[in-house]
Structure 1
Amino acid sequence: QITSGSRLPPGSSPPAQRGVGPGPAAALQAPAASRRGAGKDGSAARGLSAGGLSPSRCWRLGGFQIQRGKTDPTGYKSLGDCFRTIFQREGLFGFYKGIFPPILAETPKRAVKFFTFEQYKKLLGYASLPPGLAFAVAGLGSGLTEAVVVNPFEVVKVTLQANRNAFTEQPSSFVQARQIIKTDGLGFQGLNKGLTATLGRHGVFNMVYFGFYFNVKNILPVNKDPNLEFLRKFGIGLVSGTIASIINIPFDVAKSRIQGPQPVPGEIKYRTCFKTMATVYKEEGFLALYKGLVPKIMRLGPGGAVMLLVYEYVYAWLQDTVHHK
């Protein structure tokens, strides 16, 4: 039995409970048997399974997180005002602007999230970190890796969402990407603009998301009733996604300001992550750093719970399949 304060010796891998998902040690170091037939540890398959649900479940809410300052005459006053304005000006398809980049990125992005989380956990199993801390550190590492993969897609997505023309009048994702590369290149002013803010957004989110979920799940007793056990995990996942969203949203605001349209055309006001946060705080107040929190929680609270549940149950299914061979 490995407790939160004990070490994981190299190669140790106590088995997880069947049908429940990995225990503390098993989640930190996946059993060797589960690595066969699904990547080295099945994490890629679990990530693809969890990621496959993401575009359809969350996209429509993602568009309401475009951040604009108080001085922007096209800024939205509230979530309801955003719904009404987009529908009146851009029609129903306005809610789906920029949907193609995340469709391309979402599944591999989630695969990267969960696969690298497993790999970082495996590496940390050889360190002297307690499992509770190792979950958070592995989550941080997976978030930073995920951010590098997803940032170019985010730049294209935000640019398309910020376009106030009708859906049929705006350029395609590929045309927009080519235009960004042609005008500003591949660097930090072009397709990788706002990378630092994206690193902060994903790194902080995954650190809290994975760290909270696995630590709390391993503290609360397992329920023998499968339905109640499902609700237990879903509830922990919901809280994990919600707390992570609340903590990381200042990075999200900074990312949107940097990648989105600048207040004055031709002048770059929002350039770096922390300077953007400071500017927003100084000019608009503390609550401005939490703009878009409601749609973000609506998207990543239940969405985060679903992804973790898919991840957990695919993990358990892979273990059962390997053990029965």
Structure 2
Amino acid sequence: YTCSVSFFHLHPVAFTMGEQNNSTGKDLQHRTRAEATGKKNWPSQAYTLGAISNFMSTFLTFPIYKVVFRQQIHALAVSEAVRQLWLEGPQYFYRGIYPPLLSKTLQGTLLFGTYDSLLCFLSPIGPHSLGQRWAAGLMSGVVEAVALSPFERVQNVLQDHGTQARFPSTLSILKEFNSYGLWGRLSLGYYRGFWPVLVRNSLGSALYFSFKDPIQDGLAQQGLPHWVPALVSGSVNGTITCLVLYPLIVLVANMQSHIGWQKMPNLWVSAKNVWDARGRKILLIYRGGSLVILRSSVTWGLTTAIHDFLQKKSHSKKELKD
């Protein structure tokens, strides 16, 4: 599962300069765009910083991802999944990291890059209103969903124990999808379950970018160490967003795990089937979500802190050159 906000949604300056340590991300964005008045270049740096921050946070939190993955595949308790990884040894902690590392790096590139580009288009100088941040976050989530939904679709098929015998590898799944006609490849193959993915990613991204700066600004005024506001802001946003959108994560997983030419139920029927299968109880909908929400909290906390650190460092270097 992914809280890309998707489930799921983020600079060092000279540490002798106390006033810069406490400067907010919003003020930094305003200064940067004020310097760029009259220029029509897209803020390509945002794509790079998004890629690096997501790459690093994914690498650091991959052991948690593996515990969640073992739970999803083998229906293990948390303690048993951790014990299984412990017995395998630390040399296997990062086995299988390349697919999520690739997809998460691409996610960060698209999410932060398109958000900054759209925000720059809506308001080249700033300040940016809540509505502008919401609109830019919503649209960046749409771009992310369109680009990454096929990756999630293949991943969910691979994680379903019921399809392991028929589709033992990614290549076997791709061959199946490519055997369909053009419309079948999209609706039954790569983009099955796309609409809940679109809603989840767009809302998650909008929530993250709308409230990241206000939380971070409020904490920065308390005189905390420069890295704490970004870490806490990302962690709180990741937790709340994943908690709110987790039912959509469950719905997406159930819709995308199915494969074949059988008649696909519509979104409403699929949601009703999941609700009935979970005994019509909201607590059962959230069963197995504790580690997913924890992973989202840690991942987005680290991602936001790393992104904030790199952005300040880049801005500081630019000021020194100028």
Give TM class, smaller chain.
0.7 to 0.9
Give the corresponding residue for 1:214.
213
1:220-277 superposed Cα distances (whole Å, 9 cap, x missing partner): 343545xx23223212221111001001111111110001147xx97556x3444322
Letter in 2 for 1:278: K
SS of residue in 1 equivalent to 2:185: coil
Specify which structure has the bigger relative contact order, considering alpha-carbon pairs within 8 angstroms and separated by 6 or more residues.
Answer: 2
**Distance change >3 Å, CA 180–CA 62, structure 1 → 2:** farther
SS of residue in 1 equivalent to 2:230: helix
1:151-195 superposed Cα distances (whole Å, 9 cap, x missing partner): 11111111111146889x964333432333225753121011111
- Number of positions where the alignment pairs a residue of Structure 1 with one of Structure 2: 291
Is 1:275 the equivalent of 2:269? yes
Give the corresponding residue for 2:136.
138
Q: Is the 8 A contact 2:67 2:81 kept in 1?
A: no
SS of residue in 2 equivalent to 1:179: helix
How high is the TM-score relative to the length of structure 1? 0.74
SS of residue in 1 equivalent to 2:227: helix
Give RMSD over aligned pairs. 4.0
Letter in 2 for 1:40: P
**Residues of 2 paired with 1:153 and 1:105: CA distance?**
7
1:273-307 superposed Cα distances (whole Å, 9 cap, x missing partner): 44322332244222343233212112110110111
Q: Is the 8 A contact 1:102 1:153 kept in 2?
A: no
Letter in 2 for 1:313: F
1:31 to 23, 33, 36: 33
Identity %: 19
**Residues of 2 paired with 1:182 and 1:79: CA distance?**
38
**Distance change >3 Å, CA 82–CA 237, structure 1 → 2:** same
Quote the offset at 1:32 in angstroms. Answer: 5.7
Letter in 1 for 2:81: F
SS of residue in 2 equivalent to 1:188: helix
Q: Is the 8 A contact 1:194 1:255 kept in 2?
A: yes
Give the corresponding residue for 1:237.
234
Quote the offset at 1:314 in angstroms. Answer: 1.1
**Residues of 1 paired with 2:176 and 2:92: CA distance?**
21
* Unmatched runs of 5 consecutive residues or more in structure 1: 1-16, 67-73
Give the corresponding residue for 1:255.
252
**Distance change >3 Å, CA 219–CA 81, structure 1 → 2:** closer
Quote the offset at 1:23 in angstroms. Answer: 4.1
2:297 to 295, 301, 322: 301
1:14-71 superposed Cα distances (whole Å, 9 cap, x missing partner): xxx74456543544784265899x97352012111112124422431452675xxxxx
Letter in 2 for 1:24: K
The structure that is helix-richer by fraction is 2
* Unmatched runs of 5 consecutive residues or more in structure 2: 1-18
Q: Is the 8 A contact 1:258 1:272 kept in 2?
A: no
Q: Is the 8 A contact 2:71 2:78 kept in 1?
A: no
**Residues of 2 paired with 1:116 and 1:50: CA distance?**
15
Q: Is the 8 A contact 1:217 1:236 kept in 2?
A: yes
